[in-house]
Amino acid sequence: MNLLVVNAGSSSLKLARLDAEGAVTSATTVEAWQGEGHLEPLTAFLAGCGQVDAVGHRVVHGGPRYTGPARVDEPLVAYLSSISSLAPLHNPRAVAGLRSVRELLPDVPAVACFDTTFHATLSPAARTYAVPREWNERWGLRRYGFHGLSHAHAVRRGAELVGRPAGELRIVTCHLGAGASLAAVRGGVSVDTTMGFTPLAGLVMNTRPGTLDPGLLLWLLEHGPVPPAELGDVLEHRSGLKGLSGTSGDLREVLTGRAAGDEACVLAFDVYLHRLARETAAMTAAIGGLDLLVLTGGVGEHSWEVRAALAESLGYLGAAVDAELNRATTADADISAPGVAVRTVVVTAREDLEIRRQVSAVLG
């Protein structure tokens, strides 16, 4: 099966063609994609990429209805449009991608693959918010979790790197990029995660603050007074590493400033690591221990400083990395120190391979 993978982000459109072996034969990123109706970049890519037998779309939010990959049809597209408020930066763009590709490839089967699917296995205790039950039922309030396609691949590939079945391991996967989240995995399924109803919760990220005291937000609204629209913009685009350090929020800039003695960058990195270590320990508690720590995403794959600091903070659990291997690794590898109880591996983020797996499962 030759697969077209479509990832419509908040501003860009990523396209890739995978051959029958899962190798990427063609790929492009369309910056500033204008959405539905902006067909020229898609048309150009399809003209040169070769035969396409199926399409797999990455969709951030499947809502309460879609807890697994699904064939793209009009009811699915209409439902995703109806829940745009759950992921306003991403789901409308995904719908635009679904419609655009269907216009150009009307006879090619397409499957929507959701970032929330991996966390559909959370227990009621793990997914339920302690607010009035009527609210949860009326508005579908619950912890959904995100980055599921990345976490799913990280679990499978991480287990392969240590030569053990994923189902036998207690795993914490760390998707660390501009957005960041952790997943606690036991028996091969997600038991807990750091993001919740929206992708704002959990870890400190490039421009998002992670979990905050709700009372702080109420205080800002009532006494700041900060208008809701401004508060939303600050939480999405002006917080996290960016807000603390005064940089763009890119961790590389923060590390450069930290090395130069910039106090704001020093604090930003310390806050980032403190939250990462604390949440990793919480994920470990959720699965009753830790056998394997998997790091993926741009930071997880390339920041040896973060990997070293995290492993050191988890030393009490039996984690440690080989200093030389850690500094040298930027792709799939076991970077554990010899004889440790907890293995630490780096996995290249390949959501496209997980999408391929899910498309194959749906189409047969």
Domains, the chain, with CATH or none? 3-114 (3.30.420.40), 163-351 (3.30.420.40)
Q: How far is CA 22 from the centre of its chain?
A: 21
Contact yes or no for 292/345 (Cβ under 8 A): yes
pLDDT of 308 reads 98
CA–CA distance, 117 with 69 (Å, rounded to integer): 7
- Per-position pLDDT tens, the chain of length 364: 999 999 998 778 999 999 999 999 999 999 888 888 889 999 999 999 999 999 999 999 999 999 999 999 999 999 999 999 888 878 999 999 999 999 999 999 999 999 999 999 999 999 999 999 999 999 999 999 999 999 999 999 999 999 999 999 999 999 999 999 999 999 999 999 999 999 999 999 999 999 999 999 999 999 999 999 999 999 999 999 999 999 999 999 999 999 999 999 999 999 999 999 999 999 999 999 999 999 999 999 999 999 999 999 999 999 999 999 999 999 999 999 999 999 999 999 999 999 999 999 999 8
In this structure, what token pair is assigned to residue 130? 């302690």
Out of 73, 115, 270, 291, which one is annotated catalytic? 115
CA–CA distance, 303 with 73 (Å, rounded to integer): 41
Identify the CA nearest to 56 among candidates 108, 120, 119: 108
pLDDT of 88 reads 84
Helix 263-286 and helix 251-259: axis angle, to 10°? 120
Contact yes or no for 150/111 (Cβ under 8 A): no
Assign 250 to helix, strand or coil.
Answer: coil
Active site includes 115?
A: yes
Got the DSSP string for 137-206? HHHT-------HHHHHHHHHHHHHHHTS-GGG-EEEEEEESSSEEEEEEETTEEEEES--SSTTSSS--S
pTM: 0.95
User: Tokens 């902006």 — which residue?
Assistant: 38
pLDDT of 60 reads 93
CA–CA distance, 155 with 126 (Å, rounded to integer): 20
Q: What b/e string do you get for 216-240 counting C-beta neighbours within 10 Å, with b at 16 or more? A: eeeebeeeeeeeeeeeeebbbeebb
Q: Where are the alpha helices (DSSP H) in the chain?
A: 40-49, 74-82, 91-104, 124-127, 133-139, 148-162, 214-223, 228-237, 240-245, 251-259, 263-286, 297-302, 304-313, 323-328, 351-363
pLDDT of 241 reads 98
Identify the CA nearest to 221 among candidates 239, 204, 234: 234
pLDDT of 87 reads 84
Contact yes or no for 111/72 (Cβ under 8 A): yes
The number of beta carbons lying within 10 Å of the beta carbon of residue 248 is 13
CA–CA distance, 8 with 12 (Å, rounded to integer): 6
* Cα distances (Å, whole numbers) of residue 15 to 29, 116, 275: 6, 21, 34
Contacts 24+ apart (CB under 8 A), 269-272: 271/204, 271/244, 272/203, 272/204, 272/241, 272/306
Assign 343 to helix, strand or coil.
Answer: strand
In this structure, what token pair is assigned to residue 117? 């699917």
Helix 40-49 and helix 91-104: axis angle, to 10°? 60
CA–CA distance, 215 with 225 (Å, rounded to integer): 14
| Residue 270 amino acid letter | D
